[in-house]
A and B are shown apart, each in its own frame.
Chain A
Amino acid sequence: MTKVVVAMSGGVDSSVAAALLKEQGYDVIGMMLRLWSEPGKEDSNRCCTPDSMAQARRVAAKLDIPFYVIDAKDVFHNTVVQYFLDGYARGETPNPCLICNRQIRWTFLLDHALALGADFMATGHYVRIRKAENNYQLLRAVDKSKDQSYVLHVLNQEKLARALFPIGDYPKTEIRVIAEKFGLPTASRKDSQDLCFLAGDDYRNFLQRNAAEMLQPGEILTRDGRFIGEHNGLANYTIGQRKGLGVASLVPLYVLGKNSTTNTLIVGTQEELGSRELTAREVNWLSGETPSEPFHADVKIRYTAKEAEALVTPIIGNQVQVQFDASQRDITAGQAAVFFQGDLMIGGGIIL
């Protein structure tokens, strides 16, 4: 029998993923990772609270599948949390979920799944895989409002060959119906943009506790170099931010950029926001091959951003230049730019 490990969260999506695979005749094993939380706040990581663990255990019992929890605290801290801190130290707004998907879920957990003798690993992500002639393709979910392909642009052919995404073909409403049919809990884990290890706290408080040394006060300047105030650490600001600048001005001011070398925050008016181009590094091509020609694509620059049409030009050093047809607000270094053609994901990289 084909063996598959399902990464379970206790929520409706991964529970239904497990139930569907079981129904399709797979030999299903449930797994959950024990992730890192701040010292003194143990058990607070949103991805593995005692509640969600108990819930996943109940689902596994209901489906009559084995369930194991694997300790990933150290590896999660050393890769994901460290990446988060390093990103802010560089003046970026990092997206640690990307690293988590690449290093933790689709490397650490996948290695454990394979060690257990699994042929595949499945998650409750809203995304689809299609086996094309000689490779695997990653497609956006049928339910566009739930599509999670953005955070999975880090996958490669080797991992896609092992991946199953059983719920990407269904709209969310139907997932709830299926959950009810199987007698599974129907509650979703609250959709949250917060990072799991922040446990609901503001990331600024987290930085204050864990990397206070990077929060050095510095100058707030306009684009033409006019001094207009002091900031309390670059990491406290993100591109496009308007509130909390603490400077008096006749017109509303927005964060335009950060210069970590000079520790200055650049601000300006709404008209100054936005750009028609970006460069991205560490680009991953889902097909495994770098396109030889520039190509047109729909480009998404944040998890929640709407796609925008652009010309994507691969350049040396595993980078791309992206020329948008129209100016884009809030292009933020550290977030990913991900390229689609229709539902097909082409690739993505980290915005410089």
Chain B
Amino acid sequence: MPAMIYLDYSATTPVDSRVVDAMRPYFSNSFGNPSSVHRYGQVAEAAIDSARETVASILNCRPDEIIFTSCGSESDNLAIRGAAYAMREKTGAKWILAARAEHPAVTKTLSHLEKYEGFLIEWLDVDASGMITPEIVSRAICENTAIVSVMYANNEIGTINPIKEIAEICKANHILFHTDAVQAAAYLPLDVESLGVDMMSLGAHKFYGPKGVGALYVRKGTPLISHLTGGGQEFSLRAGTQNVPYIVGFAEALRLTNEERDQRVTHVKPLRDRVIGTVLETIPDARLTGHLESRLPHHASFAFKDVDGNLLLTLLDAAGFACSSGSACKTGNPEPSEVMNAIGLSREWGLGSLRVTLGVHTTPAEIDSFLNVLPQLVQKARILK
């Protein structure tokens, strides 16, 4: 592959070499099964316990409130399915509230519960910036509401939701509140006490950890029914031998993220601001999607009128830039995403979305050359349409 400029850190991030180093001993040397009685098992178990403590200290919770999973999507599934079944059993409540702008790990799980399990889903409308305001939640809840799920920050358009205020409303009404913090974790504070959430999903590969490992925070006392049944691992909430090296990697990546959060924000935010400013200035019929201020610091997202977003990604890739789009698909069959529809973009705008997300390795020179070519490529895409 020729030299490429990677501007898709919200899709995934390269694993930090310090994280790789932390993981390495647990593949072939300390390879034991954490459930084993012998010392091989004890070493592996100690590694997981230590990882759990690290994560708990960053989230400001107890270690036994952290469940390790295989990814952010699994965490969302465990939270929503697990709490839905438990609440139905406990109180009979079966209303669940969520926005259509949520990640598919949430929306598809809810559609599944609706179709096969008889749960009632109320889809919340977001405002034009993609935000779920506390007022929207207040208006929608009723005494039969079992769960509210609102993402901390949106993957496509970067908008940060007022999680703390929404959590307060849920708490006052005795409703379980889950947040998908997969996109937020790399940049936003994760103190669950301060946020007031009952459940929070995380995935390591969005913050320079490995793919294939996630975690779910579950507040003590939250009713939850396991759906991956088997052995008693993860406090009997998630059966299956733990992925020891990846759990160690998760914890190390989160530790580094927490430690270096301020400098990472300071690095990406001015570059990101330049992307937003220059794009809106130099490209006609372009608009920012998502909230201008309440947005992830590394995240810029746009809609261009009368552009095939997929084609724009192709042109960008051929020119050496890796970005993504809300309508991205590898089969040439683009449709505007649910998020584009939810924020009220018409088809002619919604198909032309572009997401540019920065990271620790992004340099000012890379942003310069990106901003240099993007206007011509948008123009090319318009002509080809």
Q: Give A residues with C-beta under 8 Å from B.
A: 29, 32-34, 42, 48, 50, 53, 57, 64, 66, 68-73, 111-112, 115-117
Given the contacts A70-B311, A71-B310, A112-B311, A117 and B332 also touching, CB distance less than 8 Å: no
Nearest-Cβ distance from residue A215 to partner chain B, whole angstroms: 31
Given the contacts A70-B311, A112-B311, A112-B384, A32 and B318 also touching, CB distance less than 8 Å: no
In the complex, what distance in Å separates the CA atom of A33 from the CA atom of B319?
20
| Contacts A/B (CB < 8 Å), 18 sampled | A29-B318, A32-B332, A34-B332, A50-B331, A68-B314, A68-B317, A69-B330, A70-B311, A70-B314, A71-B310, A71-B311, A71-B332, A71-B333, A112-B311, A115-B383, A116-B318, A117-B318, A117-B319
B315 within 8 A of A: yes
In the complex, what distance in Å separates the CA atom of A57 from the CA atom of B330?
10
B334 within 8 A of A: yes
- For A34, the chain B residues whose CB sits under 8 A away are 331-333
Nearest-Cβ distance from residue A49 to partner chain B, whole angstroms: 10
Interface string of B303-334 (1 = CB under 8 A from A): 00000101100110111000000000011111
- For B333, the chain A residues whose CB sits under 8 A away are 34, 42, 71, 73
- What is the count of residue pairs linking A and B with beta-carbon distances less than 8 angstroms? 45
Which of B1, B317, B318, B334 is close to A71, meaning CB atoms less than 8 Å apart?
A: B334
Q: Can you name the residue of chain A whose Cβ is closest to the Cβ of B2?
A: A27
B318 touching A53, Cβ below 8 Å: no
B332 touching A33, Cβ below 8 Å: yes
In the complex, what distance in Å separates the CA atom of A235 from the CA atom of B117?
51
Nearest-Cβ distance from residue B101 to partner chain A, whole angstroms: 24
B171 within 8 A of A: no
In the complex, what distance in Å separates the CA atom of A53 from the CA atom of B334?
15
In the complex, what distance in Å separates the CA atom of A111 from the CA atom of B319?
16
B317 touching A115, Cβ below 8 Å: no
Q: Can you name the residue of chain B whose Cβ is closest to the Cβ of A69?
A: B332
Which of A33, A48, A50, A116 is close to B314, meaning CB atoms less than 8 Å apart?
A: A116
Which of B317, B319, B331, B384 is close to A53, meaning CB atoms less than 8 Å apart?
A: B331
Q: Can you name the residue of chain B whose Cβ is closest to the Cβ of A53?
A: B331
Which of A42, A48, A115 is close to B380, meaning CB atoms less than 8 Å apart?
A: A115
- For B315, the chain A residues whose CB sits under 8 A away are 115-116
- For B311, the chain A residues whose CB sits under 8 A away are 70-71, 112
Interface string of B325-357 (1 = CB under 8 A from A): 000001111100000000000000000000000
Q: Can you name the residue of chain B whose Cβ is closest to the Cβ of A50?
A: B331
Nearest-Cβ distance from residue B124 to partner chain A, whole angstroms: 30
- For B319, the chain A residues whose CB sits under 8 A away are 117
A66 touching B384, Cβ below 8 Å: no
